[in-house]
Chains A and B, each alone.
Chain A
Amino acid sequence: MVQVSRHDIVIVGGGGAGLRAAIAAAEANPDLSIALVSKVYPMRSHTVSAEGGAAAIARDDDNEELHGFDTVKGSDFLGDQDVIEYFVENAPRELALLENWGCPWSRNEDGSVSTRAFGGMSTKRTWYATDKVGFHMLHALFQHSLRFDNIVRYDEFFVTKLLVEDGRCQGVAALEIRTGEFHAILGRSVILATGGAGKIFPFTTNGTIKTGDGMALAYQAGVALKDMEFVQYHPTGLPGTGILITEAARGEGGYLRNNKDERFLVDYDYGVGDKAELGPRDMVSRAIIQEFEAGRGFEGRYGKYCVVDLRHLGEKHIDAKLPFVRELAKIYIGVDPVHEYIPIRPVVHYMMGGVDTDINAATELPGLFAAGEVACASLNGANRLGSNSLTECLVFGAVAGRNAIEFAQGAGEGNSSALVSQAEEEAARVEALRGNGRGNEKIAGLRHEMNSTMEAGCGVYRMQESMQIAATETRSIRKRAADLHLKDSSRVFNTEIVSALELQNMVELAEVLAVSAAHRKESRGAHTCRDYPTRDDQSFLYHTLAHRTDDGPRLGRKEVKLGHWEPQERKY
Chain B
Amino acid sequence: MAESKKMLRVEISRFDPDRDEVPKTQEYEIPVQDDWKVLDAINYIKDEVDPSISHRWSCRMAVCGSCGMMLNGEPKLTCKTPLSDYDETIKIEPLANFPIVRDLVVDMDGFMDKFRKVKPWIVRAKARAEDMEDLNEKGTFSQSPDQLATFKQFSMCINCLLCYAACPVIANEPEFIGPAAIALGHRYNLDSRDEGQAERNSIFRGEGTVFSCSFANECSEVCPKNVDPAAAVNQAKLAAVVDWAKGLVLPREGA
Contact = CB atoms under 8 A, between A and B. Distances in A.
Interface string B1-42: 111000000000000111100000000000000010000000
A482 interface: no
B225 to A, nearest CB: 9
A496 B51 contact: yes
A486 B52 CA distance: 9
Interface stretch (B137-145, B166-174, B200-208): B137-145
6 contacts: A41-B112, A44-B65, A45-B64, A110-B144, A113-B138, A144-B122
A491 B102 CA distance: 10
A146 B121 contact: yes
Interface string A475-494: 00000000000111011111
A491 B121 contact: no
A552 B94 CA distance: 43
A111 B48 contact: no
B33 to A, nearest CB: 9
If over half of B's interface residues share one DSSP class (helix, strand or loop), that class is named, otherwise mixed; here it is loop
A332 interface: yes
A112 B61 contact: no
A302 B1 contact: yes
Given A43-B159, A44-B65, A178-B101, A100 B58 contact: no
A207 B58 contact: yes
Contacts of B158: 43, 48, 135
A46 B138 CA distance: 29
Interface of A: 40-41, 43-46, 48-49, 58, 92-93, 96-97, 99-102, 104-113, 132, 135-136, 139, 143-144, 146-147, 155, 178, 207-209, 240-241, 243-244, 301-302, 327-328, 331-332, 443-444, 486-488, 490-496, 499
A46 B140 contact: no
A147 B121 contact: yes
Most buried by B among A93, A112, A487: A112
Contacts of B159: 41, 43
Contacts of B140: 96, 99-100, 105, 112-113
Interface residues of B, number: 63
Contacts of B17: 492
A96 B144 contact: no
Nearest to A238: B61
B72 interface: no
Nearest to A147: B121
B116 A493 contact: no
Most buried by B among A111, A488, A494: A111
Nearest to A205: B61
A487 B49 CA distance: 11
Contacts of B101: 178, 492-493
A102 B138 contact: no
B108 interface: yes
Interface of B: 1-3, 16-19, 35, 46-48, 50-52, 54-66, 80, 101-103, 105, 108, 112, 115-116, 119-122, 135-136, 138-145, 147-148, 151-152, 155-156, 158-159, 184, 188, 191, 193-194
Contact of A44 (B52, B58, B144): B58
Given A243-B61, A490-B52, A102 B193 contact: yes
A44 to B, nearest CB: 5
A102 B64 CA distance: 19
A341 B17 CA distance: 49
A111 B64 contact: no
A44 B64 contact: yes
A302 B47 CA distance: 21
A139 B155 contact: yes
A328 B139 CA distance: 34
Contacts of A102: 121-122, 188, 191, 193-194
Most buried by B among A99, A102, A135, A139: A102
Nearest to A27: B128
Nearest to A301: B1
Given A112-B138, A491-B18, 16 more contacts: A41-B112, A104-B148, A107-B144, A107-B145, A109-B144, A110-B142, A111-B144, A132-B156, A146-B115, A331-B62, A332-B61, A444-B47, A444-B51, A490-B16, A493-B101, A499-B51
Which 5 residue pairs across A and B have the least CB separation, nearest first?
Answer: A111-B142, A96-B139, A488-B52, A493-B102, A444-B47
Contacts of B103: 493
B63 A132 contact: yes
Contacts of B48: 444
Contacts of B52: 487-488, 490, 496
